[in-house]
Every structure is written in C-alpha cells, then in structure tokens.
Amino acid sequence: MNRNTINILIMVSLLIGLNRVTASAAAPTRRVEVSVQDTVEDNEHLLIATVTNSGHPLEGVTVRFFVKRTFGNLLLGEDQTLDDGTAAVDFPKVLPGDHTGRLNVITEAVTPSGEVMGRGQSAVKADTVITTTRTDPFPRALWARHAPLPLLLTVIVIFGGVWLTYAFVVVQIIKLKAKG
C-alpha cells in the first residue's frame, strides 16, 4: 500500500471514532418521568407535578406548567421540586375549559441550561367556565347551503341587470316591428 492510502484509512477510522464518541456523549444520561395531578389543599386548587428518575424523586429540578390552548401553550408558572420530587403552582381560575370543562395541562422538567429532561400531560377538570359553542344548523357561508347575504344580493343585482337588458332589447324589437 502506498502512503496516501494509509493516510486516508487513518483519517476515515478517526472520523468514525469521533462520530461514535459524539453520539454517545449526546445520548441522554437519564430517563425522567413527570406526572401531573390537581388537588385542593387549604381551599386552594393546585397543580402538582412529580418528577422521578427510575422511580426515585428528583430534588431541585425546575418544572414548567403549561395549559394547551388553540394557538400554543400558555405558561402558568414554574417551580423547583422539593425533596419528595414535587413542584406546585396555583390552578388557574379564569381559564375556560373545553366543552366538558377540562384543561389539558402539560408539564416540563428542565435542566438549568433550559433543556427539557421530561414531559408530562394530563386532562384536569376545571372549576372554571365551560365553553359551549352553539352551531347554527343553517349557517350563511360560502361552504354551506345558504349563501351569505352580500353575495346573494350581488348575484341578484347582476342577473337582474342582465335580464332587464334582455327585456329592453325584446321590447325595442317589438316596437320596431310594430312601426314597420
């Protein structure tokens, strides 16, 4: 083998070794589970998240609480876990729930650098307003059976003008025949 081939083989083996080292360094070092539940303590409705790693509670982890909304997640607050792995925030009293009165709560356990270690999600019964949407069985919309009134009026005016023009021409033809 010549010297260039040996150098190329050495470079390829070094690159393969570096890829394996960076892949193992990027692998998560621990599996974190986050569970969330709601509870009432001292007449206060709270959201409590429990952060565990292989069944053992984690202390000092920042937990962020979100509520899923139509166009994203609304941050409710964040808290540090205690020695039993729990963190808590006040339950929102003014957020409307879905048609069954539930809020979809999402929790994230994050590292000090802001990386998400684990997520939890739960549908929590809200003591807030239940949103109900009354749907009109016959809406006036382009995709429905009944057209919107402005569109209907425009079509009537345009077709009425065309038919009036036809009627005017017919009347003029009849007058010409009567004179002649």
pLDDT tens string 108-130: 888 888 788 888 887 777 665 55
| φ/ψ of residue 171, rounded to 5 | -60, -40
* Domain 32-125 fold: Immunoglobulin-like (2.60.40)
DSSP bridge pairs for 72: 69
pLDDT at 142: 76
Please, is 96 exposed, middle or buried when counting C-beta atoms within 10 Å of its C-beta (0-12, 13-18, 19+)?
Answer: middle
The Cα–Cα gap between 162 and 169 comes to 11
Q: Which of 26-30, 46-50, 75-79 has the lowest mean pLDDT?
A: 26-30
pLDDT tens string 28-41: 455 788 888 888 88
Calculate ∠ Cα 132-135-139, nearest 5°.
155
| φ/ψ of residue 170, rounded to 5 | -60, -45
| Band of pLDDT at residue 23, cut at 50, 70 and 90 | very low
Q: What does the domain layout of the chain look like in residue ranges?
A: 32-125, 137-172
Mean pLDDT, residues 33-57: 86
pLDDT at 119: 81
pLDDT at 28: 47
Q: Which of 54-68, 86-100, 158-172 has the lowest mean pLDDT?
A: 86-100
